Chain A
């Protein structure tokens, strides 16, 4: 009995480190070191000297245009993803729709939020491509030729619509529990104190949901910004968004400057990191009232 009590704390401590070590090793080797390597590479030239030239070279019109279109698509798809996802989640939780709708909606959202990448591109080509179902139906039923009207799936607008297919469900998945967390008593307390429905949303519900909404927006932004497969399968490399440019660069050094590739990737990290930085900063401001 006595040797058990003596030896136990010691063995527990040594085991504890072992329990966490594989994780740390994994995170360092396959997440942190590769990322650090890219970041450091962005500040080095071919000879290994420290330089800002790579970063400076990012500011050429074609690369800037790539970043700009990427940011536009990401912001638009994150914004509308949040807005529409919120509307759908609110309809189901608070809008008085039949209760049975909820379970299938959540399951479907789980599926659709993971249905990204190449197959998603196929689905939209089959729907909104030149021979897609909706394109053809609109033409033959209503005489509307969306392609003649300037629509193109391989564009800012087309890509945003496609990305919304996984952005909206992701928002639904995250915001539904948050909407459930709004207590009925808060609304009633606000009402009985004289507040209108609008005032309740502006002064109570939205401030409470704000951290969740911000976080989801940042997540959706990063989600769209880093997405390669859908865009690549849709457009080949004809639409020059940053991840596709980087993809082509890694495959074939299209920029003819390996270290510019590092800088390109570094720029992506900076932008998603910046989005999340804003999120964390706003969240700490918005969350003073949380434990």
Chain B
């Protein structure tokens, strides 16, 4: 029975370690008005035009990144599954590279490679930098996106589905959009929500590329204000939680629909 005691101890330690910072942040975020708990810090944050501007910028970037990620990852994972099984270790190696190469190194490379005097002067204009940042975000989320989609594709029999569709006369685009996508939609959504969570809080790339994103805004607030950062941390945590909750939700929904079939 000593095993059970140690297990409870480990769990209690975990709850304390993870609970206290969240509690501390929440408590701190409510203390803006002297002596009483209030939502003043939240009000201040939500009324800050900078907050709205940077937050909506990051949301839009996240959405574009998700679309880009899907376009890059889904056909590749599909073809690797269907035709290029030999390439699988190679492709998987590439998708894992962003976990090994620090993002700051990657963005450093961007800055030097795509500067105004280079063959592809992406950093020369705001739009170009946005595009560069989007590609940067896509590399950050690549490991997660690829993994989610690959797992989803493995769960269905891609080859049989494709052959069945081909025998019915479907072309490549039809197969992709009508057969494969719906079947891995849940996997794509999981990857998408994860990408969203990553992009919203990202700091290094946006800061070094000088884009007005939410991450650098958070950092500036942290350096200049006392209570607002705590409120922002609570909001950021809530967004992350919502993304993970949505992943759970779609996964569960899929389970139901599978049973129903």
Question: Which A residues form the contact surface with B (CB < 8 A)?
Answer: 8, 12, 15-16, 19-20, 22-23, 26-27, 29-38, 41, 84, 87-88, 90-92, 95-97, 101, 105, 107-108, 110-112, 114-128, 131-134, 164-165, 168-169, 219, 222-223, 225-226, 228-229, 232-233, 236, 243, 246-247, 250-251, 261, 265, 268-269, 272-273, 276
> Distance in Å from the Cβ of B159 to the closest Cβ of chain A?
13
Question: Could you say which of B10-18, B32-40, B57-65, B253-261 contacts chain A?
Answer: B10-18
A31 with B98: in contact, given A91-B7, A118-B218 (CB under 8 Å)?
yes
Structural contact, B72 and A20, CB atoms closer than 8 A: no
Q: How far is the CA of A132 from the CA of B24 in the complex (A)?
A: 7
| Chain B residues in 8 Å Cβ range of A35 | 101, 105-106, 109
Structural contact, A95 and B101, CB atoms closer than 8 A: no
Q: Is the interface of A mostly helix, strand, loop or mixed?
A: helix
Considering the complex, give the chain B residue whose CB is closest to the CB of A26: B72
**Contacting residue for B84 out of A20, A120, A243, CB 8 A:** A20
Considering the complex, give the chain A residue whose CB is closest to the CB of B241: A111
Q: How far is the CA of A229 from the CA of B223 in the complex (A)?
A: 13
Report if B135 contacts A (CB, 8 A): yes
A38 with B105: in contact, given A16-B84, A20-B84, A97-B11 (CB under 8 Å)?
yes
Structural contact, A126 and B11, CB atoms closer than 8 A: no
| Chain B residues in 8 Å Cβ range of A111 | 237, 240-241, 244
Considering the complex, give the chain A residue whose CB is closest to the CB of B110: A34
Report the count of interface residues on B (CB-CB < 8 A). Answer: 84
> Distance in Å from the Cβ of B140 to the closest Cβ of chain A?
10
The list of the 8 closest CB pairs from A to B, nearest first, reads A34-B109, A226-B102, A95-B7, A127-B24, A133-B24, A91-B7, A229-B203, A126-B28
Report if B20 contacts A (CB, 8 A): yes
Structural contact, A95 and B20, CB atoms closer than 8 A: no
Since A38-B109, A127-B21, A250-B111 are in contact, a sample of 5 more A-B pairs with Cβ atoms closer than 8 Å, ordered by chain A residue number, is A30-B135, A88-B10, A114-B244, A118-B222, A232-B203
**Cβ contacts A to B, 19 pairs, < 8 Å:** A20-B79, A23-B75, A23-B91, A31-B139, A38-B112, A88-B11, A92-B7, A95-B3, A117-B201, A118-B215, A118-B218, A118-B222, A118-B236, A127-B23, A133-B27, A164-B17, A247-B104, A250-B107, A269-B101
| Chain B residues in 8 Å Cβ range of A125 | 222, 229
